Structure 1
């Protein structure tokens, strides 16, 4: 029976009924159905989903039929649920028999969570939500039988993946149409940039930096592009790895290019670079704070397509997306509405920049999913793993899963000596070292890297108050609210353009993707891999130097502190290696070569636990169901970050955040994220602190752990002598 006749027979309203509204714009259901059908097929074909497209017709036609219930009205705030009625009508009247389609219609506004196969649950959560004149007993019987069939149908894992990805294209189309973005170019845009045009863009970009375009390197880029295998690409900092990776990616005509960075520190600068090189192709960001950043940039005017912008920031729909490792893992692990993201990975090229900085557990998970989805589910994902250094453990792990073709240019380090270092016996906070920092700043820009947040704060306060260095000095570490960190990063961009007298004090956050060249570096002793990263921030655009531009200091607390960031074996190896090469290092390759002998802490028992968890995960999800796993839980279970941290809101901002939550403002979650700070988990259990939980947000009030917009979140026990010098955040200290 035709849908129109079914609707008429049941006493439902017609398909011309308004189903969506945006301001003064209204859309009838029949138009929404056609838009969803059209957009979803465009997305499906773009990602190689060319079979079973009739499923998209079925989902488009039936998913919102429940809105034809006369009790449902677009202008009413309290509307009766429509998904359960839509699913029931599909089940009873559709000619298409597939229990998974019934389930998709039932759940098309939620994550794909399992529906308990018991009568009380079905009565409450399905039949009880059908607010229309139906035979309840008949409905319960039909739905129970269908859910029993559904439970058996999800045993077919291969078809699950394809079907969920089709559902993802349908749901994306549903969202775009509901936003009145039926002609949205973002869903239709492809990466059709010619390699020859990219070459011209690269040439112009290099010239803008007053550098010479290297034709020999371009030949290497094009040779790399010809390989059909995954690529492991090793070359020095400044060699042109990003250019090479983009050449490879563009040549493959992928559905998307996904550029993965170890941290969010340099995402904005990377986006600016990619927008220049790939002009005309959409470049977006996807990381935890991306929607918050976009909201602050766009503002919240009355009439705008900001909903679309925020949706783009939460998905991988853009032709080019810059993201972080955790966002990929959350999508592969089926966290939340993963189906809106994962299908974009099909036929895409992934560029993994500075992958040696990924936590080993995170890299293991990534490689596991890459192999699984390429071999079992034919995702055809291609990858370029790039690094300036590599430990044998990382090379072995990558080869274990994907066996890439290697392009190695580490011998180029033999032509470079961009740093000469000296080892200092003094602590970085000593008067001797602080005076050296000031003297060097008169000659150029100085980078200071400490191993802990409290040590970095101490250096900053000593220079600021004891040596009156108030101007042209900046402190940045991981323990700021997102709002304050973003402001600091903007200041960094401006101050780094100075030719001298800028002192930047930081922690390990400066080891990663910091595209700024400093003249001098003062760093605390750290493991060799970390020091190589830190050395890479100095004299980046030169090849050789004869004078000392790096001073390595010995932390006085290294043998006193129980929870020092680095392992004793790593520090001992670094000390002996650096002592041997001090003053006489001929080229950078000498230190790179020693890297292969450096101790690498790999917890095989932990990796075995991850394997065990993944086997359970496969059984639980059947590559179909979503999991409701909070970020902190994922961190604790799988440890894909270096340290265990929790996102909290400093107690001094409690009233500001509660004011947002209790208001009728739009985009509350994005506004609240401005106040988040990552802190060590053990802070939450310290006796002097008080944890307050509201709407799944953690607020920390403590006499010991204090927040300052200038120096960030700190442990006052470790900075007792300096607390009076710090402008500490108090109540109602709004950051906006």
Structure 2
């Protein structure tokens, strides 16, 4: 049923787009395109890239950051008729979309996530049907998407027939596979068992054994030993809160270093940024999830251009979203896999001697609310066992140890089972039908992640005038530029005091203070449990 409906829909859409044949739906000469790209960039293939290029079936790739993992995965995909590249966040998808367009050409590469239609409308003023629709259903030759979009297809969301059918005939790449919670992995396990793609690649700098055992029915390929033997970081583990290092952070910046400071909650990031500015260090910048879409895009575009003496204060948004390389890192304690990602944002290519990384083990209630005390305590214990200058291989090994310990816990296994059973139930109940979100039982199952906080976009009151002008110009589609994601319980728990609905704009508006420097500041923390989530 799904395959027949996909053919009929594609034929209809092709005709509407004025396409005389279906050739533009398929990737041509993908192998030559990636090879030409690597030659133009002066890349010399590493051993693991040569190996993966010659592997025909499924693969599991484990390679450190900054050694050409993406190029290796594309070389593996080679002459596939279509490539589906799946990533954990919209920011990583946006960056990869731009990157792959340079390789395969703008018309061949599509993007699919919650805000993709805005990006395409901004890119192509005529909002051409093939750019907007074909990408959303995975019908472009190369599509970069969040894993959520893939799973929504298997949960029978809108246009599920096209997504499932076309991904079945794709080379599917699951990059940063370590990033997902167990419930999401459970959904993925069931989806792959029911509709396995033509070829599948799993990839991560750590790629824990537990993930390989769960999903990895393919050839394990690891980067060569000399890449794992690199020593990029000099660890300093401190039994103190990060607030005790403010003087050292400023001193490092004054010595000409580009300093990266990563904390676990937005309020703490805002507080530290204010403190550095009050101390007279004007070359301080802030990045977190609670900026408007426009401001965050602007900040992310400039984040690696800040010169010597910069302090960048950030939250988890830098872990898998940005390709940056700063000189030194000060970070709060986080789970080891997150710390490895944070460390990958300093001395990224390993071209310098080991650079300072100071990790502060004393956590507050905000960090505990985000990660839980058990995993923080276990991460701290494992960190103390590392040498002062660990190799990438040693970091991988200790992360693998943590992940395997977590994966043995009853709660972890139960969440995987719950995800698997949810997808199986939805498909068996719906059969060939599409999800009806008016049905309470099905709507509750139509989620791809359990952890974290469900967000809703709100408009800072300071931008009300600009929003109305956009609508008056017929540009309501641009309202997304001005929106900020906040926890849904902020809106419905504090609606009268800080939030109200704008009927003419069709959005929620907030009176909370907003600035381009600090973003949206939270409600009184004493009134908002869990206020600090990223």
What's the TM-score once normalised by structure 2's chain length? 0.86
Note the C-alpha offset of 1:611.
Answer: 3.8
Q: Retained in 1: the 8 A contact 2:260–2:329?
A: yes
The one of 223, 226, 229 aligned to 1:415: 229
Partner of 2:276: 463
Conservation of the 8 A alpha-carbon contact between 1:189 and 1:319: yes
- Distance in 1, matches of 2:289 and 2:502, equals 23
**Cα pair 1:522 1:550 within 8 Å, conserved:** yes
1:364/1:397 contact within 8 Å kept: no
2:203 is aligned to 386
Q: Does 1:343 align with 2:165?
A: yes
Deviation at 1:412, TM superposition (A): 4.5
Equivalent pair of 2:335/2:376 in contact (CA under 8 Å): yes
Shift of 1:366: 1.9
Map 1:102-251; keep pairs closer than 5 Å. Answer: 163-178=1-16, 181-183=17-19, 188-193=24-29, 195-196=31-32, 198-205=34-41, 207=42, 213-214=44-45, 216-224=47-55, 227-228=56-57, 230-251=58-79
Partner Cα separation in structure 2 for residue 220 and residue 305 of structure 1: 41
Give the deviation of 1:319 after TM superposition.
0.9
CA distance in 1, matches of 2:28, 2:359: 48
Cα distance in 2 between the residues matched to 1:382 and 1:658 = 45
| 3-state SS in 1 of match to 2:434 | coil
**1:192-341 equivalence runs, <5 A:** 192-193=28-29, 195-196=31-32, 198-205=34-41, 207=42, 213-214=44-45, 216-224=47-55, 227-228=56-57, 230-251=58-79, 253-254=80-81, 256-279=82-105, 282-299=108-125, 304=126, 306-341=128-163
Residues 505-654 of structure 1 aligned to structure 2 (within 5 Å)? 505-542=313-350, 545-546=353-354, 548-555=355-362, 558=364, 560=365, 564-581=369-386, 583=388, 585-598=389-402, 599-600=405-406, 602-628=411-437, 638=447, 640=449, 642-650=451-459, 652=461
TM superposition shift of 1:331: 1.6
What aligned pairs does 1:714-729 form with structure 2 within 5 A after superposition?
A: 714-718=521-525
Shift in Å at residue 453 of structure 1? 0.7
Q: 1:280 to 1:425 in 2, by over 3 A?
A: closer
Give SS of 1:351's match: strand
> How far is the alpha carbon of 1:679 from its aligned partner?
1.9
Q: Deviations over 1:23-42 (max 9, x none)?
A: xxxxxxxxxxxxxxxxxxxx
State the Cα deviation string for residues 216-235 of structure 1 (Å, max 9, x = none).
Answer: 444313332xx32x211111
- 1:478 maps onto 2:316 in alignment: no
Q: Contact between 1:650 and 1:707, CA under 8 Å: does it hold in 2?
A: no
Q: 1:397 aligns to what?
A: 214
Q: Distance in 2 between matches of 1:410 and 1:216?
A: 7
1:511–1:533 contact (8 Å) kept in structure 2: yes
Pair 1:307–1:587, CA change in 2 (3 A): closer
Deviations 1:535-572 (CA, angstroms, capped at 9, x unpaired): 111111225625x51111244x52x4595212212222
Unaligned runs of 5+ in 1: 1-162, 375-379, 721-736
Gaps of 5+ in 2: 528-534
What is the CA–CA distance in structure 2 between the aligned matches of 1:604 and 1:200, rounded to whole Å?
44
Match of 1:427 in 2: 241
How far apart are residue 407 of structure 1 and its match? 1.3
Q: Bigger shift: 315-324 or 498-507?
A: 498-507
Structure 2 CA distance for aligned equivalents of residues 615 and 570 of structure 1: 30
Q: Is the 8 A contact 2:230 2:392 kept in 1?
A: yes
Cα offset for 1:628?
Answer: 2.8
Does the CA contact (< 8 Å) of 1:367 and 1:398 recur in 2?
yes
* Paired position in structure 2 for 1:88: none
The match for 2:532 is none
RMSD (Å), alpha carbons: 3.3
Establish whether residue 711 from structure 1 lines up as the match of residue 489 from structure 2: no
2-structure distance, mates of 1:508, 1:316:
29
Q: Residue by residue, what CA displacement relative to the aligned partner does 1:93-123 show, whole Å, maximum 9, x if unpaired? A: xxxxxxxxxxxxxxxxxxxxxxxxxxxxxxx
Deviation, structure 1 residue 364: 2.0
SS at match of 2:369: coil
Secondary structure at the aligned position of 1:538 is classed as coil
Q: Once the two structures are superposed, what CA deviation does each residue of 1:670-707 show, in whole Å capped at 9, x if it has no partner?
A: 333333332223323434444538599651546xx543
Q: Does 1:369 align with 2:191?
A: yes
Quote the residue 1:444 is aligned against: 257
1:590 Cα shift?
A: 2.2
8 Å Cα contact 2:151/2:448 also seen in 1: no
Structure 2 residue matching 1:522: 3-state secondary structure: strand
C-alpha displacement at 1:511, in angstroms? 0.7
> Structure 1 381/684 Cα, relative in aligned 2: closer, same or farther at 3 Å?
farther
Q: Distance in 2 between matches of 1:169 and 1:246?
A: 27
In the alignment, the residues of structure 2 paired with residue 387 and residue 258 of structure 1 have an alpha-carbon distance, to the nearest angstrom, of 16
Counterparts of 1:630 and 1:706 in 2: how far apart (Å)?
A: 38
The structure-2 alpha-carbon separation of the partners of 1:165 and 1:658, relative to structure 1 and needing over 3 Å to count, comes to farther
| TM-superposed deviation, 1:652 | 1.4
CA 1:194–1:691 in structure 2 vs 1: closer, same or farther (change >3 Å)? closer
Question: Structure 1 pair 575/630, CA: closer, same or farther in 2 (3 Å)?
Answer: farther
Inter-CA distance 269–609: structure 2 relative to 1 (3 Å threshold): closer
* 8 A Cα contact 1:648 1:697, kept in partner: no
SS in 1 for 2:391: coil
Residues 262, 316 of structure 2: 8 Å contact kept: yes
Seen in structure 2, the aligned counterparts of structure 1 residues 485 and 414 have a Cα distance that, compared at 3 Å, is closer
Structure 1 range deviating more: 520-529 or 360-369: 360-369
Equivalences, count:
519
> How much does 1:357 deviate?
0.8
Separation (CA, whole Å) in 1 of partners of 2:439 and 2:471 = 23
Higher relative contact order (CA 8 A, sep 6+): 2
CA drift of 1:627 comes to 3.2
Q: Secondary structure at the match of 2:152?
A: helix
DSSP 3-state at the match of 1:542: coil
Shift of 1:283: 1.5
Q: Which residue pairs with 2:531 in the alignment?
A: none
CA separation of 1:482 and 1:460: change in aligned 2, threshold 3 A: same
Cα deviation, residue 662, structure 1? 7.3
Matches within 5 A, 1:14-53: none
Q: If the length of structure 1 is used for normalisation, what is the TM-score?
A: 0.64
